Structure 1
Amino acid sequence: MPKHTIFVCKSCHRSSEEKPNNPPFDGDILLDKLKSLCISKLPNDELKIQSVGCLWACDRGCVVAVSSEDKPTYLFVDLTPEESAASLVEFMQMYIKSRKGAVVWEQLPQVLQSAIFAQIPSVKS
């Protein structure tokens, strides 16, 4: 089965608050929470959690991209570390189980319904 990747922008910070001068930034906090939750809830042979320096959506709070070679990529913005980690794990469970990576908007956890920014088709589509 294909490997799935969650890309977390570790330099992100919610735009409504002043960005602190020193880490941890909100992206770092979200990354740590995701790693702890994923250990117990998702198969580690199916999932890679990768931090990235920047996802170029700096005015959109915490930003996460979910990708797999044969599935669409999802981009989530305006996430908060406190509320989003568990919802992202729930989304990943659906994404991994779906052969084509299709997740119906209505099935998204409530927190992610307002955070979905884009669904980008896979290159192989």
Structure 2
Amino acid sequence: MTTWITICDTCKRDDWEARSPGETDGETFAALIESAAEGVEGVRTRRHSCLMGCARGCNVALQSKGKLAYTVGEFKPSPEAAEAVVGYAALHAQSETGQVPYRQWPQAIKGHFVSRHPPLPDSDD
């Protein structure tokens, strides 16, 4: 089943303007994640303006129908962080419940989990 990586493209870390004027940290991170996710089975990406985690930028949501969903944040927009997000998303896609054993987590994603959300019910009952 596909795991979606939703990347906040409006995230800005404190010194973003000095580092890359005209492009937000979120845009930079989105491009890195999109590149890292190319050809990875079971993983797709999309951008969204503002995940409302401004104090923890750069933010990403990992979601799949019927599985636990996660929000991760406080990343520097780096290739290593992007690879870790995509690596975790691939493991999430392979997991029946969305839960991934800690020992399998990419090192660069550890310490970046903000929240975990249960899957939505299958019906309105």
With the shorter chain as reference, the TM-score category is: 0.7 to 0.9
**Cα displacement (A) at 1:118:** 1.1
Partner residue in 1 for 2:44: 48
- Secondary structure, in 3 states, of the residue corresponding to 1:12? coil
Quick one: percent identity of the two aligned structures? 24
1:124 maps to which of 100, 121, 124: 121
Matches within 5 A, 1:27-46: 27-40=26-39, 42-43=40-41, 46=42
Structure 1's unaligned 5+ residue stretches are none
Q: Given the superposition, is the C-alpha separation of residues 20 and 117 from structure 1 closer, same or farther in structure 2, using an over 3 Å criterion?
A: same
Quick check: 1:109 aligned with 2:106?
A: yes
- Secondary structure, in 3 states, of the residue corresponding to 1:7? strand
Question: Higher strand share goes to which structure?
Answer: 1
Matches within 5 A, 1:56-95: 56-82=52-78, 83-95=80-92
> TM-score scaled by structure 1?
0.85
Q: How many residues align?
A: 119
**Cα displacement (A) at 1:18:** 2.9
**Cα displacement (A) at 1:32:** 0.7
Instruction: Say which is worse superposed, 74-83 or 22-31, in terms of deviation.
Output: 22-31
Cα distance in 2, alignment partners of residues 19 and 80 from structure 1 = 10
Cα distance in 1, alignment partners of residues 11 and 88 from structure 2 = 21
> TM-score scaled by structure 2?
0.85
Cα distance in 2, alignment partners of residues 62 and 101 from structure 1 = 22
Cα distance in 1, alignment partners of residues 97 and 26 from structure 2 = 28
> Which amino acid in structure 2 is aligned with residue 3 of structure 1?
T
- Secondary structure, in 3 states, of the residue corresponding to 1:71? coil
Cα distance in 2, alignment partners of residues 92 and 47 from structure 1 = 7
